[in-house]
């Protein structure tokens, strides 16, 4: 497919004991597009997303082989600092996990750990990223309040601001709207469409309608395998595989 693939995945396999979770995944994820990984629950979408920023390191029982190349660097076998690699990717998880600190410090956290500690600089950046996540107007008068006091939709936008603040190239999102109300979900979706001007977005979802609304490129996964991949138009208008057709018809839900 396109020349400007940001992430290339080759022969990726992941197993826990004898159970194979991901089987021979080969993928190319285009730069500055929204790539949606679609599939029913339990097909390995989330696990795949976690291999992309090596969160699989946390789970010693997971055995990963193959290669994932981001900017010409095989991140599964790299000698580079893994923390810097992770800062290239912002992560939004299924339910928001704000850090146990106040709103301001949540956004400033990533900047502080990368050594940028000047108060005036932080103030500006925090405001900038909170505005980017459409949260500034709601929280500007209570930046010192604990993040846990926000509603869950606000927390998810806070997590987005926090993820953007480490200045990533890639946004990984794992069903980021599944815990949110429709209005907050729509806000996140709109934001993603805006953000794709600057970022490569990889989003996991099992919500078909959501995929139709925002996807540029779609990867359909089923039982740990990539069944089909292509542009949104190709997959939604003219799917090649029988399983994809059935899923799109709603036979799985």
Partner 1 sequence: MRRFRHTEEKLFRVLMFLSTNIIVISLGIIIFSILYKGLPSLTWEMVSQTPKGGFYFGKEGGILNAIIGSLYLAVASTVLALLIGLPVALMMNVHLIKYTKLVNGIRFLLDLLWGVPSIVYGAFGFTVMIYFGLKTSLLAGIITVTLFIIPIMVRAMDEVLKTIPRGLMETAMSLGSTSSEISYRVYLKQVIPGLVTAVLLSFGRAIGDAASVLFTTGYTDHIPTALGQPTATLPLAIFFQLSSPIPEVQNRAYASALVLTIIILATSILSRYFSKKYQKNRIKQ
With CA atoms as reference, report the closest residue to 18 among 62, 59, 58, 49. Answer: 62
Residue 41: CB minimum distance to partner 1, A: 18
Asked if 162 is part of the footprint of partner 1 (rule: CB under 8 A), the reply reads yes
- Cα 196 to Cα 114: distance, rounded to the nearest angstrom: 25
Asked if 83 is part of the footprint of partner 1 (rule: CB under 8 A), the reply reads yes
Contact (CB, 8 A) for 226 and 196 = no
Tokens, residue 169 = 């190239």
* Side-chain-side CA neighbours of residue 115 (13 Å): 1
Asked if 152 is part of the footprint of partner 1 (rule: CB under 8 A), the reply reads no
Size of the site for partner 1 (CB under 8 A): 34
What 8-state DSSP symbol labels residue 1? -
- 109-128 positions binding partner 1, by CB under 8 A: 109-110, 113-114
Which CB, 46 or 231, lies closer to partner 1?
Answer: 46
Contact (CB, 8 A) for 8 and 69 = yes
Q: Is 129 left (phi over 0), alpha (psi -120 to 50) or beta?
A: alpha
Asked if 91 is part of the footprint of partner 1 (rule: CB under 8 A), the reply reads yes
Residue 128: CB minimum distance to partner 1, A: 17
Asked if 67 is part of the footprint of partner 1 (rule: CB under 8 A), the reply reads no
- Cα 200 to Cα 250: distance, rounded to the nearest angstrom: 28
Give the x-and-dash track for 33-62 against partner 1 (CB under 8 A): -----------------x--x-x-xxxx--
Which positions lie near partner 1, rule CB under 8 A?
50, 53, 55, 57-60, 83-84, 86-87, 89-91, 93, 95, 97-102, 109-110, 113-114, 146-148, 159, 162-163, 166, 172
């Amino acid at each position: 497919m396109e020349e400007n693939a940001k992430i290339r995945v080759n022969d990726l396999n992941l197993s826990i004991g004898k159970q194979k979770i991901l089987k021979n995944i080969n993928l190319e994820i285009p730069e500055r597009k929204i790539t949606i990984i679609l599939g029913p629950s339990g097909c390995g979408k989330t696990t795949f997303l976690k291999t992309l920023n090596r969160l699989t390191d946390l789970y010693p029982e997971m055995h990963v082989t193959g290669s994932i190349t981001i900017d010409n660097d095989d991140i599964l076998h790299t000698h580079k600092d893994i923390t810097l690699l992770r800062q290239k990717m912002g992560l939004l998880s299924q339910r928001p996990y704000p850090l146990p600190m106040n709103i301001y410090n949540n956004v400033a956290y990533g900047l502080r750990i990368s050594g940028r500690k000047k108060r005036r600089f932080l103030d500006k950046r925090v405001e900038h990223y909170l505005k980017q996540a459409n949260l500034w107007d709601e929280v500007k008068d209570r930046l010192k309040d604990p993040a846990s006091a926000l509603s869950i939709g606000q927390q998810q936008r806070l997590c987005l601001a926090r993820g953007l603040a480490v200045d990533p190239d890639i946004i990984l999102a794992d069903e980021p709207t599944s815990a949110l109300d429709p209005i907050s979900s729509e806000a996140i979706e709109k934001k993603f469409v805006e953000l794709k001007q600057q970022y490569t977005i990889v989003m996991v979802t099992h919500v078909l309608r959501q995929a139709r609304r925002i996807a540029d490129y779609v990867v359909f996964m089923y039982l740990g395998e990539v069944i089909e991949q292509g542009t949104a138009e190709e997959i939604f208008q003219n799917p090649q595989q029988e399983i994809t057709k059935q899923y799109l018809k709603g036979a799985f839900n």
